[in-house]
Structure 1
C-alpha cells in the first residue's frame, strides 16, 4: 500500500508554514521598523494584530463558500493575494500603509483553515486525522520558527524591506506546486487505485460506503444553536489567545527582558516553535492510536485537549524563572499546550460532525472564535506592557483564559453534531 496522500499533508503543512512566516515577520523586524518610524508599544500592538481584524471578519463567509468554490481555488487564490500583500509591505512608508497591507494579508489568509479542513476530511482516513490535522496546524509552530530565522537573517544582512519581498515570493513558488498536483482523491491521476479505495472507504469511519450521499450543509443558525459548537469556539479562543500572545510579542519580550540582538532573538524564538511541532505530532499520534473509532466519534479527544490547556498554565512560571534556557523550556511547554490543543480542537470538530459537508463551516466558526481572541491578545498585551512596564499581568490574563478553555472542552463538547437536514 502506497501513502501518496502524504504529499497532500505536506502541501497543506507548507501552506500554513508560509502563512505564519508572513505573520511573524513584522514581530521579528519590529526593532528596525520602530527605529525608522518611531512607533510606540501601543501602535505596534495594533500593527501586530491588524491582519487578524480582516481575518476574523472573512473566516465564516469564506468558510461557507468552500463547498461552492472548491478547496483548490479557495486555497490557491488566498495564498496569491496574501503573498502579494506581504511583498507589498516592503514598499510601505507609514503606519497607515503598513496597517493596510496587513489588513489585505489577513483577509486572504482566512481561506486556509476552512478549505484545508475539508481537504483533510476528504483525503485522510478517520484514524489519521488527528496526526494530519496536528501536522497541518503544526505549521503554526514551524512557520514562526523558520520565519523568525529567515527574517532575522535578512534584516541583519540587508534590511527589513528585503525580508518582506523574499517572504512574498515564497508563497508564489508554493502556489505553482498546488495548482499542478492538488485535486479531490476521486479525480487525481497520480493516486493508486488501492490507496484511493482506502481513503474513500475509511475517511468517515471504517467500512463507510464511499458512494453515500450526504445531506446539504447545515445552516449557520442551526450550527450556532449546538452546544458542542460553542464548546469548540470557546476552547479555541482561550488556547489561541496564548498562541498569539507569543506569536506577536515573543521576539520583543526576549529582546526587552534578555537584551538580545535581532539575530539571536530569531534563533531563540525558533527553538520553542520547532520543539513544539515535534511534541505536538507525538501527542496527536497518541490521540489517534489510543482512541477507538467509537471513542473518536464520541468526542473523547477532548481529554487530550484539556491536558494541553493544563500544560499551558505553566505560562505563570515565565516571569519568575531566571535563566534563559529555563525560560525557553517553559515557553516551549506553554506553546506545546496551546498550539497542540488548538490543532486537536479542529480534529475534535471533525470527529463530532456527522455530515462531512459541514466541516468547512464548523472549522471556520471555530477558527473565528480562536482568532477573535487572537486579535485582542497583542493589543491587550501592548496596553499591559505600556501600563505596567512588564509582562507578568499579560501572562496571568492568558492563564485565566486557559483555565476557562480547559473547563469548556470537558463540559461543552459531549454531544455529536447531527446534520440539520436528515
Structure 2
C-alpha cells in the first residue's frame, strides 16, 4: 500500500482507538465508581450498557447525514461531542449525571463506524479493502490495550475522575489533525496524481454477476429487502455481544475471580487486546490474498468471517481454565477471532454493496444490528452474575452466539445487495 494513502489508514486506526479508549474507561474504573455510587452488579450492568442505547439510536440518522454531508464534517462533529462528554464524565456528581454523560458520549460515537466505512470506500482500492478495514477495526482493540495500562495506573494514582479527563482530551488532538489534513482524494493537495488516479479507478468493484451501476444508489429501504443486509447485521450482533462482554466485564471478572489489583488487571487485559491488533490486521491481509483471483465481488470473504467467529468461540473454554497463563492465551485467541470478524464483516459489506453512495447508511444498519446485541450483553451478564454467583454462563452464552453467527453468515449472505429487479438474477459464487 502507498505511503500516502497509508495516512488515511492511520487516521482511521486512531479514530477507532480513541473511540474504544473512551468506552473502556468506565470498565477500568468500575470498582471505585461502584463503591462511590453504591451500585450492585445489576446497576453496573445498566451503566455499562447506557452509552449503547444512544449509540444505537443515532446510528441510522448519522448514516444518512454522513452520506449527505460527507465524512470530514461529520467525523469532526462526532469526536468533538464524545470527547467533551468523556471529559465531563469525570465531573459527574450523581448517578444521573454519570448516566447522562455516557448517553451523550454514545450519541457522538455513532459517527465512527459509518465514517470509517465511507472513508475506506472513498480512499482505498478494492483489493486493499480487507487489510485497511482490519486496521480501522484493530484500533478498537488497541484502544483497550493502551487504556487498560494507562488508565489503570491513573485510577490507582489519581482516582477515577482524572482518568476520564485525560481520555477525553486525546480526542481533541485527533480532531485538529483531521480538520487540517483530511478531505476526499480528489481534493487533497498532498496526494500524488498517479496515486489519486489509482484510488479513483480501483475503489469501486461491483458484486459478481451484478448489473447495478456502481454510482446508482439503491437506498436503505431497498437494501433492507435483501437477506444479505440482515445476515450481516445478525452476524455483527452475535459477534458484538462477546466484544461488549469483554469491554464491560473483563476487569471486574479478573478482580472478583482472579483477585487481581486494578493495576494488574490493566496489565493483564492489555496483553490479549494487543495481540488481537496485530493478528486482526494479518487476517485482513490474508483475506485480500484469498480473494485475489476470484475478486472481492464474489462474496467469498464470508468464509473468512465464519472461520474468525469459530476462532472466537474459544471463549467456551474459559469456565474450564484455572491457570492464568492459559486464560491469557484463551482471551487472546477469542479477542483475535472477534476482532477479525468485525473487520471482515465490514469488508464483506463493502464487497456486496454496489453503490458507494449507500455505504454509510448500510454500515449504520449493520452496526445497529451489532448494538442491539451489544446493549444486552452488559445487562444480561449482570443478571447472570447476580443469579448464579459466577461468570461461567456469561462466557457460555457468548460462545454459543459466535457459533450461531458463523452459521448465519454462511447461509444469509450469498447474494449481493441489489434492487428488486436485479436480485433475482444475481447469485454470488460460493
TM-score range, shorter chain: over 0.9
Q: Who is 1:228 aligned against?
A: 228
Matched, 1:47 2:34: no
Q: Who is 2:339 aligned against?
A: 339
Distance verdict in 2 for CA 1:420–1:12, change over 3 Å: farther
**How much does 1:98 deviate?**
0.6
Q: Who is 1:317 aligned against?
A: 317
Following superposition of structure 1 onto structure 2, how do residues 83-122 of structure 1 map, counting pairs within 5 Å?
Answer: 83-122=83-122
**How much does 1:154 deviate?**
0.8
CA distance in 1, matches of 2:12, 2:420: 29
CA distance in 2, matches of 1:185, 1:295: 24
- Once the two structures are superposed, what CA deviation does each residue of 1:392-417 show, in whole Å capped at 9, x if it has no partner? 11111112211210101000101011
**How much does 1:144 deviate?**
0.8
CA distance in 1, matches of 2:348, 2:254: 34
Distance verdict in 2 for CA 1:144–1:123, change over 3 Å: same
Which one is further off, 128-137 or 146-155? 146-155
Matched, 1:390 2:390: yes
Partner SS state of residue 360, structure 1: helix
**How much does 1:216 deviate?**
4.8
Equivalences, count: 417
CA contact under 8 A between 1:355 and 1:419: conserved in structure 2? no
- Once the two structures are superposed, what CA deviation does each residue of 1:317-338 show, in whole Å capped at 9, x if it has no partner? 1011111110010011111111
Q: Who is 1:179 aligned against?
A: 179
Q: Who is 2:300 aligned against?
A: 300
CA distance in 2, matches of 1:187, 1:420: 35
Q: Who is 2:190 aligned against?
A: 190
CA distance in 2, matches of 1:2, 1:256: 47
Q: Who is 1:277 aligned against?
A: 277
Q: Who is 2:253 aligned against?
A: 253
Q: Who is 2:209 aligned against?
A: none
Q: Who is 2:354 aligned against?
A: 354
Q: Who is 1:21 aligned against?
A: 21
Following superposition of structure 1 onto structure 2, how do residues 97-176 of structure 1 map, counting pairs within 5 Å?
Answer: 97-176=97-176
CA RMSD of aligned residues (A): 1.6
CA distance in 1, matches of 2:358, 2:68: 13
**How much does 1:244 deviate?**
0.8
Distance verdict in 2 for CA 1:263–1:120, change over 3 Å: same
**How much does 1:420 deviate?**
6.9
**How much does 1:218 deviate?**
2.3
- Once the two structures are superposed, what CA deviation does each residue of 1:244-288 show, in whole Å capped at 9, x if it has no partner? 111110111111111011000011111100001111111110000
Partner SS state of residue 53, structure 1: helix
Q: Who is 1:238 aligned against?
A: 238
Q: Who is 2:3 aligned against?
A: 3
CA distance in 2, matches of 1:302, 1:55: 26
Partner SS state of residue 269, structure 1: helix
- Once the two structures are superposed, what CA deviation does each residue of 1:141-168 show, in whole Å capped at 9, x if it has no partner? 1011111111111111111110001111
CA distance in 2, matches of 1:359, 1:401: 26
CA distance in 2, matches of 1:262, 1:128: 40
Following superposition of structure 1 onto structure 2, how do residues 202-221 of structure 1 map, counting pairs within 5 Å?
Answer: 202-205=202-205, 214-221=214-221
Q: Who is 1:209 aligned against?
A: none
Q: Who is 2:427 aligned against?
A: none
Listed as ranges, the gaps of 5+ residues in structure 1 are: 207-211
**How much does 1:214 deviate?**
4.8
- Once the two structures are superposed, what CA deviation does each residue of 1:217-257 show, in whole Å capped at 9, x if it has no partner? 32322111101011101100001111111111011111111
**How much does 1:291 deviate?**
1.1
CA contact under 8 A between 1:51 and 1:103: conserved in structure 2? yes
CA distance in 1, matches of 2:23, 2:111: 15
Matched, 1:60 2:60: yes
Distance verdict in 2 for CA 1:99–1:419, change over 3 Å: same
CA contact under 8 A between 1:74 and 1:111: conserved in structure 2? yes
Q: Who is 2:34 aligned against?
A: 34
Q: Who is 2:409 aligned against?
A: 409
TM-score, normalised to structure 2's length?
0.94
Partner SS state of residue 353, structure 1: coil
Distance verdict in 2 for CA 1:120–1:420, change over 3 Å: farther
CA contact under 8 A between 1:127 and 1:293: conserved in structure 2? no
CA distance in 2, matches of 1:362, 1:67: 10
CA contact under 8 A between 2:214 and 2:355: conserved in structure 1? yes
